[in-house]
Chain A
Amino acid sequence: MTNFSLWVLLPPLLGFIILGVLGSLMPRGGILAIGWGACGLAFLFAIFDFFSVLNAPASSGHVSDLVIYNWMTAGSFKLDFGLLLDPLTATMLLVVTGVGLLIHIYSAGYMEDDPGFWRFFAFLNFFIFAMVMLVTADNFLFLLVGWGLVGLASFLLIGFWYERSTAVAAARKALVINVIGDFGLMLAIFLIFMHYGRLDYLGVFGNVGAVANGSGTATAIGLLLFVACAAKSAQLPLYMWLPDAMEGPTPVSALIHAATMVTAGVYLVARANPLFENAPVALGVVAGIGGATALFAATIAIFQLDIKRVLAYSTISQLGYMFMGEGAHNYTSGIFHLTTHAYFKALLFLGAGAVIHSLAGEQDMRKMGGLWSRLPITAWTFLIAALAISGIFPFAGFWSKDDILSSVLAYAMTSGNPWVYILWGVGLLTVLLTAFYMFRLFFGIFMGNYRGVAASATVHDEDDEEPASGGGHHGGAVSYYDIHEAPRVMTVPLLILGALSIIGGIFGSFAIFGATKWHPLENFLSTVTGFSAVHVPVATIGIDWTSTAISLVLALIGIFFAWRLYGRGFQYKENTSPLYQLVLHKYYVDEILTAVLIRPVLALSRGATRFLERDTLDGGARGVAFVFRGSSAGLRRLQTGYMRNYALAIMLGVVLIVLYYAVRG
């Protein structure tokens, strides 16, 4: 089978270099041609890759490892820069480049008036390159390279509007937390190298038994890998950076912090599934953390007022779902939910971006409302996405979410472990909460009356000219009649993603309708997820029906409550009950961290500045200077400047030398 991965990898890199070097000199059209072209080419070759895997002869095992060059050889250890193409990579490539391309297109409208237009596209191309690197690497070391590069891309794009101090702080926070994850990944790689003596996936996974199943080492490897995944995919307790990452431009939130980069952790768990199967404790932690995060983030999302923050917490919650599914040994369900989530979450963010764009940078839900008739395309696609994420039949989220929930239930019944039943319950509760907060958001934005500053009072008395609604980074009130639908370059990606959010689920499981053999994605991924011989519980039809029916009913209840409360528009009431305040302030996690971690570290640093830097290091240098100055103060008296003194000294010296030789004889 032919491996086109190099051609997926190179165009975004070239695009980044060209835009980065010449972008500031180029006209708009040129920037778009290169930015879109690079991503489009990558997508084209990702499609080639996909069909190449799909049509590969069974004898190849649907795996192709293309070695580009030998990076290093040391004794028996050999490390290549190679591109692995297998079903998992092909799926990820399609998601990354496909959603990436749509967001490239959308950005042309969203970032239209931004002075950093070329810089934005250069960074976007760089991100695509880094992400492709991450998913195509054929060994852990180059995975780490991709891992680090996507973190860098994320840092650059969160801090894109670097004049804002909040954006810079958010970028720094994201980078620091991501580096914690990178560190975990590095330690895991060291352990893998120590015990397997190699780093290529195929070699390690093929020989996974070299570390005894369930041993401390296997668990340590699994947990360290999961530290990396938790940091990248914003799981407890390393999730804090993702809500703050919303400081970046909205297309960035859609692409990096919802659709693709944050799913890298889900990808890694699926990729390293033999290692996780080898460490049941670590896999249990994955499931537990996933469930806890799903519920925790969903509760926060309920009370947020900034529309992008609601979506950010929703992303964290959905990522928790993916880990939950993977923790229940069903890796396909995690990847499946990753794919469908990429569609509808990108759609939600882009829709939110269109709303923000039309309101000239307003993100507060209290100042929205009644936009249904002003922004029809955005509203319809947003509704589709909200239905999809709530898991309503037959939208994409329904299939993937219920795949996860039913496999968790199946796992609970096979293992008989009460904790897994609790996990399932948590998943169902989260379904209710998800439906509620998504429709709270939907009704808040699109229903009721417009609550902007210039709301109903003005009757379109000002001139018809559209206010300067730029890249959504300068807030301001827009009067209701000046709100316009976004340009076509922004609505077309919305429509495409809307279509995908409707039909994107058909690749999943039709098992609920009795078609037990209909598992295209699972069959496709079986060479990856079926690597180890550990028993994966398959949900039977009965279980599927039970779980699905309950979750569907819960989702409908959630929507109903949201409609009862907010159906006629969002009314914000100041609520002082401590529980409400607790959740509104995100459980004060940031404040606690500031008090517990950041303040002490800063105090320690200040102490170090005072005692180590100033007193010890500077003091030492000054001490040396002091000693020399003191000793020279005595010696300088010898330099009288009188010539006769020097002459006398010379003469005395000569006399002494002569005397010495005279005495010695």
Chain B
Amino acid sequence: MPLPAYLTVSAIMFTIGALGVLIRRNPLIIFMSIELMLNAVNLSFVAFSTFLDSADGQMFVFLVLTVAAAEVVVGLALIVSIFRTRRNIDVDDMNVLRG
């Protein structure tokens, strides 16, 4: 398959992820959307890596996967903690920083 096909899929995935982050109110879904965006980027990295015949892109993918894993750990911990204190994890209710 040619490169543009991979990139198109990647772009569609990224857009879906971004819209998910902006629209959904459940933090778990937002996390999943973020993961989707990260994996869209990963897909384009791998595609470019094959296209350019270079291993650099794949190395970045490993890096992104690691960071994503760490980020999910922290994020889930935060969500649990918030749930324990507020009994509610709707992101629109978390607006104490409103000016």
Let me know if A115 is at the binding interface, CB within 8 A.
no
Let me know if A638 is at the binding interface, CB within 8 A.
yes
Given known contacts A644-B91, A647-B22, A651-B18, what 17 new A-B pairs fall within 8 Å (CB)? A635-B99, A636-B99, A638-B99, A639-B97, A639-B99, A640-B95, A640-B98, A641-B95, A641-B96, A641-B98, A641-B99, A642-B95, A642-B98, A643-B91, A643-B92, A644-B92, A647-B21
- Chain B residues whose CB sits within 8 angstroms of the CB of A635 once the complex forms: 99
Distance between Cα atoms of A272 and B72 in the complex (Å): 92
Closest-by-CB residue of B relative to A643 is B91
For residues 638 through 657 of chain A, which have their beta carbon under 8 Å from a beta carbon of chain B? 638-644, 647-648, 651
Let me know if A517 is at the binding interface, CB within 8 A.
no
Q: Is B99 a contact partner of A637 (Cβ separation < 8 A)?
A: yes
Q: Is B23 a contact partner of A644 (Cβ separation < 8 A)?
A: yes
Q: Is B22 a contact partner of A648 (Cβ separation < 8 A)?
A: yes
- Chain B residues whose CB sits within 8 angstroms of the CB of A644 once the complex forms: 21-23, 91-92
Interface residues on B, range: 10 to 19
Q: Is B18 a contact partner of A639 (Cβ separation < 8 A)?
A: no
Distance between Cα atoms of A641 and B93 in the complex (Å): 9
Task: Tell me the smallest distance from the CB of B41 to a CB of chain A, in Å.
Answer: 13
Q: Is A639 a contact partner of B98 (Cβ separation < 8 A)?
A: yes
Number of A residues near B (Cβ < 8 Å) is: 13
Listed by A's residue number, 10 A-B pairs whose Cβ atoms lie within 8 Å are: A640-B95, A641-B95, A641-B96, A641-B97, A642-B91, A642-B95, A642-B98, A643-B91, A647-B21, A651-B18
- Chain A residues whose CB sits within 8 angstroms of the CB of B99 once the complex forms: 635-641
Distance between Cα atoms of A639 and B98 in the complex (Å): 5
Task: Tell me the smallest distance from the CB of A210 to a CB of chain B, in Å.
Answer: 74
Distance between Cα atoms of A643 and B23 in the complex (Å): 10
Distance between Cα atoms of A434 and B95 in the complex (Å): 91
Task: Tell me the smallest distance from the CB of B99 to a CB of chain A, in Å.
Answer: 3
Interface centre among B21, B23, B99 (most CB of A within 10 A): B99
From B18, B21, B23, B92, A642 is in contact (CB under 8 Å) with B92
Closest-by-CB residue of B relative to A639 is B99
Task: Tell me the smallest distance from the CB of A636 to a CB of chain B, in Å.
Answer: 3
For residues 1 through 27 of chain B, which have their beta carbon under 8 Å from a beta carbon of chain A? 18, 21-23
- Give the dominant DSSP class at A's interface: helix
- Chain A residues whose CB sits within 8 angstroms of the CB of B95 once the complex forms: 640-642
Task: Tell me the smallest distance from the CB of B48 to a CB of chain A, in Å.
Answer: 18
Q: Contact string, B19-61, partner A, CB cutoff 8 A, digits 1/0?
A: 0011100000000000000000000000000000000000000
Task: Tell me the smallest distance from the CB of A659 to a CB of chain B, in Å.
Answer: 16
Distance between Cα atoms of A651 and B21 in the complex (Å): 11
- Chain B residues whose CB sits within 8 angstroms of the CB of A643 once the complex forms: 91-92, 94
Distance between Cα atoms of A637 and B95 in the complex (Å): 13
- Chain A residues whose CB sits within 8 angstroms of the CB of B92 once the complex forms: 642-644
- Chain A residues whose CB sits within 8 angstroms of the CB of B91 once the complex forms: 642-644
Task: Tell me the smallest distance from the CB of B37 to a CB of chain A, in Å.
Answer: 10
For residues 46 through 99 of chain B, which have their beta carbon under 8 Å from a beta carbon of chain A? 91-92, 94-99
Interface centre among A637, A638, A639, A641 (most CB of B within 10 A): A641
Distance between Cα atoms of A72 and B18 in the complex (Å): 77
From B22, B23, B94, B98, A651 is in contact (CB under 8 Å) with B22
- Chain B residues whose CB sits within 8 angstroms of the CB of A636 once the complex forms: 99
Closest-by-CB residue of A relative to B21 is A647
Distance between Cα atoms of A641 and B23 in the complex (Å): 15
Distance between Cα atoms of A636 and B98 in the complex (Å): 8
Closest-by-CB residue of B relative to A637 is B99
Q: Give 3 closest A-B pairs by Cβ, nearest first.
A: A641-B95, A641-B98, A639-B99
Distance between Cα atoms of A644 and B18 in the complex (Å): 11
- Chain A residues whose CB sits within 8 angstroms of the CB of B23 once the complex forms: 644
- Chain B residues whose CB sits within 8 angstroms of the CB of A638 once the complex forms: 99
Distance between Cα atoms of A564 and B18 in the complex (Å): 118
Task: Tell me the smallest distance from the CB of A148 to a CB of chain B, in Å.
Answer: 58
Task: Tell me the smallest distance from the CB of A643 to a CB of chain B, in Å.
Answer: 5
Closest-by-CB residue of A relative to B94 is A643
For residues 594 through 651 of chain A, which have their beta carbon under 8 Å from a beta carbon of chain B? 635-644, 647-648, 651
- Chain A residues whose CB sits within 8 angstroms of the CB of B94 once the complex forms: 641, 643
Task: Tell me the smallest distance from the CB of B88 to a CB of chain A, in Å.
Answer: 14
Distance between Cα atoms of A644 and B29 in the complex (Å): 13
Interface centre among B21, B94, B96 (most CB of A within 10 A): B21
Distance between Cα atoms of A638 and B22 in the complex (Å): 17
Task: Tell me the smallest distance from the CB of A649 to a CB of chain B, in Å.
Answer: 11
Closest-by-CB residue of B relative to A638 is B99
Task: Tell me the smallest distance from the CB of A639 to a CB of chain B, in Å.
Answer: 3
- Chain A residues whose CB sits within 8 angstroms of the CB of B22 once the complex forms: 644, 647-648, 651
Distance between Cα atoms of A641 and B98 in the complex (Å): 4
Task: Tell me the smallest distance from the CB of A645 to a CB of chain B, in Å.
Answer: 9
For residues 412 through 449 of chain A, which have their beta carbon under 8 Å from a beta carbon of chain B? none
Distance between Cα atoms of A644 and B23 in the complex (Å): 7
Task: Tell me the smallest distance from the CB of B18 to a CB of chain A, in Å.
Answer: 6
- Chain A residues whose CB sits within 8 angstroms of the CB of B18 once the complex forms: 651
Task: Tell me the smallest distance from the CB of B40 to a CB of chain A, in Å.
Answer: 14
- Chain A residues whose CB sits within 8 angstroms of the CB of B21 once the complex forms: 644, 647
Task: Tell me the smallest distance from the CB of B94 to a CB of chain A, in Å.
Answer: 7
Task: Tell me the smallest distance from the CB of A657 to a CB of chain B, in Å.
Answer: 15
Task: Tell me the smallest distance from the CB of A632 to a CB of chain B, in Å.
Answer: 8
Closest-by-CB residue of B relative to A646 is B97
Task: Tell me the smallest distance from the CB of A660 to a CB of chain B, in Å.
Answer: 19
- Chain B residues whose CB sits within 8 angstroms of the CB of A642 once the complex forms: 91-92, 95, 98
- Chain B residues whose CB sits within 8 angstroms of the CB of A640 once the complex forms: 95, 98-99
Distance between Cα atoms of A651 and B14 in the complex (Å): 12
Task: Tell me the smallest distance from the CB of A449 to a CB of chain B, in Å.
Answer: 89
Q: Contact string, A501-544, partner B, CB cutoff 8 A, digits 1/0?
A: 00000000000000000000000000000000000000000000
Task: Tell me the smallest distance from the CB of A22 to a CB of chain B, in Å.
Answer: 61
Task: Tell me the smallest distance from the CB of B91 to a CB of chain A, in Å.
Answer: 5
Task: Tell me the smallest distance from the CB of A204 to a CB of chain B, in Å.
Answer: 72
Distance between Cα atoms of A211 and B94 in the complex (Å): 86
Closest-by-CB residue of B relative to A648 is B22
